[in-house]
Amino acid sequence: MATLCRPAIAVPEHVITLDQTLDLARAMHAGHPQLPLALRLIENTGVRTRHLVQPIEQTLRHPGFTARNTVYEREAKRRVPEVVERALRYADLAARDIDLIVYVSCTGFMMPSMTAWLINTMGFRSDTRQVPIAQLGCAAGGAAVNRAHDFCRAYPGANVLIVACEFCSLCYQPTDLGVGSLLSNGLFGDAVAAVVMRGHGGSGVHIERNGSHLVPGTESWISYGVRDTGFHFQLDRRVPGTMEMLAPALRGLAAEHGWDVSGLGFYIVHAGGPRILDDLCHFLDLDPATFRYSRATLTERGNIASAVVFDALARLFADGVPDGTPGLLAGFGPGITAEISLGSWVSEPVGAGRRRPRAIATSDIALVHQGAPRRFPAGTTITE
């Protein structure tokens, strides 16, 4: 049994609305020949609010990649610990019960990875395995779930912590004036998420099968141009139509599992934009309400990259579904890549089957973390 437990989500305290976004675009790009098109595309995203790790005045300034990455590291260390602690509580586990940490982010860079800092500061065991994922973009949330599932299958009874930290606003590039870039400026938001996959016990989604699919010849469709000024997001105009190519992969994996992908009880997918969700409804023969959790994430948070699937999953937890309900979780991103998981809802009491803490030898006592309780940054919105 590998069960994906309730996710913990937090978004920064600085908020920008759709109206503010449109006003900024009009003011900053008044002479842009394709401004009307860009404004229309931004309105059509369905995004109403986004949360930013810095005030909008600072977000719009570009002090250089070094300064931007310094902000990324500072804010990640400031905001991630509380979300991790909450995810551990939801799973009824302690830091020393975790055997692997998967950290996903495509909006900043650290080496050693954030995983090393978490192990050193939050009481995780020194033999905790680390898997940082930095180059799968929005698909990384789904990939993290799949790699956690693989680990739990290889090491029965193991527990995995997944952390997604995405500060997309730190990738804003004022010199990128293509329509795709202007659209991105009104689409992406910032968020932190954490979730535990328990090897035994727990309530949530019991993951039964996972799979990946890459569409050949589409490597350049979603990419970063890595330059002196940092990461420049590059989006091909063909990306919104990729569900026609990826929907068969979802249907095929479900069929291998003996399921009809059009007859599942819940769907948690990455919401890159409304066209993605609308096309999935069409190609998988689903009602638009099927993706209500992903649509809500898009409306209230924007595209928060790898954290989308966890925010949408948290909304499913808030509603709940009957025990045994089958469902699908999928992330889409650069490649073009789909990372897909299939699982069923289990409502077993969260404490059932909890693994005994590892015995600590006297010689190890000095290594046990004795940190003080953490406080989350003032004004940060915490999603239960």
CA distance 8 to 196: 9
Catalytic hit among 138, 165, 168, 171: 138
Distance CA 223, CA 217 (A): 13
Phi first, then psi: give them for residue 309, nearest 5 degrees: -65, -30
In terms of Cα–Cα distance, which of 246, 312, 306 is closest to 275? 246
The tokens for 345 are 């809802």
Contact assessment for residue 254 and residue 261, using Cβ atoms and an 8 Å cutoff: yes
Tokens linked to 138: 């929005």
| DSSP assignments along 148-181, one per residue | HHHHHHHSTT--EEEEEEEEGGGG--TT--SHHH
Check if the beta carbon of residue 110 is closer than 8 Å to that of residue 170.
no
Tokens of 2: 């590998």
Q: How are beta strands 49-52 and 14-17 bridged, if at all?
A: antiparallel
Instruction: Let me know if 138 is a catalytic residue.
Output: yes
Enter the tokens of residue 132: 């940082």
Closest among 273, 88, 105 to 192, alpha carbons compared: 105
Q: In Å, what is the CA distance from 50 to each residue of 12, 13, 83, 178?
A: 9, 10, 19, 21
CA distance 99 to 118: 13
Is residue 319 within 8 A of residue 297, CB to CB? The reply is no
User: Annotated active-site positions, please?
Assistant: 138
